[in-house]
Amino acid sequence: MKILVTGGAGFIGSCFIRYILNKYSDYKITNLDLLTYCANLKNLKDVENNPNYTFIKGDICDENLVNKIASNIDIIVNFAAESHVDNAIKTPDIFLKTNTQGTLNLLNCAKNNKIKKFIQISTDEVYGSIEKGYFKEDSPLSPSNPYAASKAAADLVALSYFKTYNLPVIITRCSNNFGEHQYPEKLIPYFILKLLKDEQVTLYGDGQNIRDWIYVYDHASAIDKIIHEGKIGEIYNISAHNEKTNLEITKIILDTLGKDDKYISYIKNRLAHDKRYAISTDKINSQLNWYPSFEFKEAIIKTIKWYIENQNLYE
């Protein structure tokens, strides 16, 4: 099987590449990445010499380049995205260009080259916030910020290509990922590295916003299952059901590093800050028999230790 992974030098994409290359000795992966600020080829240092791995620097919006690559590809897995909500609030146009227009270009190239499967990696944020219960795959989309809106738009375009052109599209919507190699703009790595420098960390509002966390390699295993057994035209939610407030996550990091609450400060809530993300995984559990393998506490301790040992990568 020949897989094109877009955005493979980023956090989740690089972990997926490593997962697939370690599991399948006969699969070939081409990694297309523009190497923006949050991507880093050091994330793939351990596989760069693997004969089944090829890296190409390029933009998913480059139609000629993507068409050329896709001519020899079976499956496209689209991780490429701008994803930091704070940045989306400041510069939404970049998010619409990469996340929506870029996905549209990939879909056109997939159609031109008769790709066997197109896996669109989306997010639980497209559903918006929910006070109680869980969003299911057929729940209405209600994105609250430009990032989530750009991903929701990409999802709808991808589904339209399935319905209009019979393009073999599958969409995945995952909860918050954590783990090694995550660029330190997101909460967990950012806070770890700040605290290692003996600096305070800042929480939005009262720190009670709830996010559902999944270890990145559980996400990779779910995508692997969906590639091989997922039904064309379907949407699959992916979650490990580890709901934690941002304050709870912060205190886990503080405790692990031997620090106390005096390192926490609070700032004004960001614009349109969703209170709680929560998605049902009944579909992927029952239809594909997928379940997470990693226990949350063990995985987050492993993650913290990795950043302690690799903090020089982000200096």
pLDDT of 135 above 80? yes
Please say whether the beta carbons of 173 and 212 come within 8 A: no
**Residue 312 forms part of a structural domain:** no
**Residue 125 forms part of a structural domain:** yes
**Residue 270 forms part of a structural domain:** no
Distance from C-alpha of 169 to C-alpha of 159, rounded to nearest angstrom: 7
Exactly one of 59, 82, 125, 180 is catalytic; name it. Answer: 125
At 170 the pLDDT is 98
pLDDT of 315 above 80? no
**Residue 47 forms part of a structural domain:** yes
For residue range 265-311, list pLDDT tens digits in order: 999 988 878 899 999 999 999 999 999 999 999 999 999 999 999 99
| 187 class by beta-carbon count within 10 Å (0-12 exposed, 13-18 middle, 19+ buried) | buried
For residue range 74-107, list pLDDT tens digits in order: 999 999 999 888 889 999 999 999 999 999 999 9
Please say whether the beta carbons of 98 and 61 come within 8 A: yes
Domain that holds residue 157: 2-179+216-240+276-293
**Whole-number percent of the chain with pLDDT over 90:** 94
Exactly one of 147, 161, 183, 236 is catalytic; name it. Answer: 147
| 67 class by beta-carbon count within 10 Å (0-12 exposed, 13-18 middle, 19+ buried) | middle
At 59 the pLDDT is 97
At 131 the pLDDT is 95
Split into its structural domains, the chain has a count of 1
At 83 the pLDDT is 84
The region of weakest confidence among 4-8, 34-38, 219-223, 234-238 is 34-38
Exactly one of 124, 155, 212, 218 is catalytic; name it. Answer: 124
Q: Which CA distances in Å does 17 have to 45, 56, 80, 234, 295? A: 12, 14, 13, 23, 22
**Residue 27 forms part of a structural domain:** yes
125 is catalytic: yes
**Residue 197 forms part of a structural domain:** no
The region of weakest confidence among 89-93, 161-165, 223-227, 252-256 is 89-93
At 86 the pLDDT is 86
**Residue 299 forms part of a structural domain:** no
**What is the pLDDT averaged over residues 12-24?**
98
Tell me the CATH number at 130: 3.40.50.720
pTM over 0.85? The answer is yes
The model's confidence at residue 192, banded by pLDDT at 50, 70 and 90, is very high
**Residue 15 forms part of a structural domain:** yes
- Indicate the average pLDDT of the chain: 96
At 273 the pLDDT is 86
Please say whether the beta carbons of 78 and 158 come within 8 A: no
